[in-house]
Structure formats: structure tokens, C-alpha cells
Amino acid sequence: MRLGEVALDYTGAGLVAMAGVGGNVLHHPKNALREKPKGKLAAFHGKGTHEVDEVAYSEVENSVQINASQCFKPVPQAVWDFHIGGYRVVEKYLKSRKGRRLTLDEIDHFAATVKALAFTIEQMGRIDLAYYAAFGSSGKASRADDLAAAPM
């Protein structure tokens, strides 16, 4: 063992608990990926041209504005703040389309992306809880708490 390494026992109840989280996702009889999350996320609201002029998040309304009259809502704060590769995923998706009109497929794809990210955050929280239950807590709040606190 090198300096700074921590020996963890990945056998027994801890491993079973963590494997159970992944197993529930992959082998759920109704396919958990289609069932989660509950509720309607990222519905497209407003009348207009569907053109992306600006991309701004409203914490008050839990919405992502694309122009003066159109937005997607609800979009939970945890989903808006979700980063991959240093970028907010949903912000990057819309900003890459700035100055042009969203197609109906792009509107549907954005909503599906928000739902997938909400599901991912939920699963990350479940994995964190299983890990901390098995191997001890670092005192960090779960990412699932962030999503659960957001109104949907």
C-alpha cells in the first residue's frame, strides 16, 4: 500500500449493497431508465420563434429561458448545475444553438436530456448512500438531496 491509499474491503454487505443499486437500474422489470424520474420536467412554455437568443436560469421559477417569451420548466437547480467536462450540460446544449431556431426534435431532446440528468443525479445519490452505509460517511451531503430539494 502506498502513502495516502485507504484499504477498503469490497466484500460482504458493502459490495452487495452497491451492486444492488446498479442491478436495480439495469434489471428492473419495467426498465428503471424509463420509469424515473417521476413528474414532468423541462416542458416547453411560451409562444414565439423558438430562437435561442439568450440562455439564463431562473432559480425562482426553476426555468431555463431561451428568449424573452419562451422557456423550459421545471428544470431542477441540481440539473442546471450538473457539470461534465467543466461545462453545465444543459446550458452548453442550448448555447451551442444560440442564434438559431430550435426544431421540435431539439426541444424533445433537451427535455429528454434534463430527465436523464435528473435520473443520473438520483442514482448518484443512491450510490453515495449505499457506499457511505457500507464504508462510512465523509460527512458530505448526497447529490440526491440537491435534487429532492428542488421543486418539480
What is the average pLDDT across 23-40? Answer: 55
Here the cell at position 133 is: 452505509
Span 47-103, pLDDT tens digits? 999 999 999 999 999 999 999 999 999 999 999 999 999 999 999 999 999 999 999
Cα–Cα distance between 31 and 26 in angstroms, integer?
A: 7
Q: How does the average pLDDT of the chain come out, rounded?
A: 80
The one-character DSSP state at 111 is: H
Domain residue limits, the chain: 13-149
The one-character DSSP state at 61 is: T
Cα–Cα distance between 117 and 27 in angstroms, integer?
A: 20
Q: Are strands 63-65 and 71-73 parallel, antiparallel or unpaired?
A: antiparallel
